[in-house]
């Protein structure tokens, strides 16, 4: 009975880590961090792919702004302070990849948007992480989900992010795919110091069965 209970605890611990693993593993675009959010490739469409991500723990903060660049810069500073020791345990936490920004689908041109920036917690902190000391920073969990993914290079600025989110939506609408139209994720894998061969993505969350071609 003791061995059985121990096995259950071990299984729960492994499951809770949400496949945060070594950046050298297959399906990893993380070239600057030790650990990365891993995924399973479900299928590939014309110009996009479908991935499955297990539930995972993140630290996040949100900023209201008219401008994505301003919001991301402010949010990044808050989260960077958390991983460099501004938490209740005073510990330094390794940077991981990707960094994701949840973006509301915009209404009017003059409307503010809510930008939620999140850092992935390393595997060592997936089951338990120190609480932030900044009340605007919080721990959160991303649920188990499938996402439609479009990749692109260069830098994630407002113009390029909007362009590639629009292109992905067009592709999904062309194959009559169902997805959450209220928000999307801008996903970055590189630090500002990396100038070449950058890897960025836009995600829309799959609703229902994923679609990879018109015939599916």
In a domain? residue 148: yes
In a domain? residue 213: no
In a domain? residue 211: no
The string of DSSP letters for the chain reads: -HHHHHHHHHHHHHHHTTTEEETTSTT---SSSSEEE--EEEEE-SS-EEEEE--EEEEEEEEEES-HHHHHHHHHHHHHHHHTT-BTT-------B-EEEEEEPP-STT--EEEEEEEEPPGGGSS--PPBSSTTEEEEEEPSEEEEEEEE-S---HHHHHHHHHHHHHHHHHTT--B--SEEEEEE---TT--SS--EEEEEEB-SS---STT-
Task: For 101-117, write each residue's pLDDT tens digit.
Answer: 999 987 666 678 899 99
In a domain? residue 188: yes
In a domain? residue 214: no
In a domain? residue 65: yes
Instruction: Using a cut of 0.95, tell me whether the model's pTM lies above it.
Output: no
The reported pLDDT for the residue numbered 105 is 86
Task: For 42-64, write each residue's pLDDT tens digit.
Answer: 999 999 999 999 999 999 999 99
Considering its fold, how many domains does the chain have in total? 1
**Domain holding 155: CATH number?**
3.20.80.10
In a domain? residue 215: no
Per-residue tens of pLDDT for the chain, all 216 residues: 333 333 333 333 333 345 898 888 766 789 999 999 999 999 999 999 999 999 999 999 999 998 899 999 999 999 999 999 999 999 999 999 999 999 998 766 667 889 999 999 999 999 999 999 999 999 999 999 999 999 999 998 889 999 999 999 999 999 999 999 999 999 999 988 888 889 999 999 999 999 987 544
In a domain? residue 197: yes
| Domain encompassing residue 76 | 3-205
């Amino acid at each position: 009975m003791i061995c059985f209970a121990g096995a259950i605890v071990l299984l729960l611990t492994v499951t809770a880590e949400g496949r945060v693993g070594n950046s050298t593993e297959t399906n990893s675009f993380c070239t600057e961090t030790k650990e990365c959010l891993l995924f399973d490739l479900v299928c590939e469409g014309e110009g996009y792919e479908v991935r499955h991500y297990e539930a995972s723990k993140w630290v996040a903060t949100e900023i209201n702004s008219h401008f994505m660049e301003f919001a991301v810069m402010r949010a990044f500073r808050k989260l960077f302070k958390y991983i460099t020791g501004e938490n209740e345990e005073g510990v330094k936490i390794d940077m991981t990849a990707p960094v994701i920004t949840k973006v509301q689908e915009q209404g009017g041109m003059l409307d503010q948007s809510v930008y939620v920036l999140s850092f992935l917690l390393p595997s060592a902190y997936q089951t338990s992480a120190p609480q932030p000391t900044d009340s605007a920073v919080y721990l959160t969990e991303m649920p188990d989900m499938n996402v439609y993914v479009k990749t692109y290079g260069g830098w994630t600025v407002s113009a390029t992010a909007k362009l590639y989110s629009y292109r992905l939506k067009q592709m999904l609408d062309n194959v009559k795919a169902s997805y959450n139209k209220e928000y999307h994720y801008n996903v970055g894998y590189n630090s500002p110091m990396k100038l070449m061969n950058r890897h960025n993505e836009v995600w829309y969350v799959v609703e229902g069965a994923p679609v990879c071609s018109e015939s599916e």
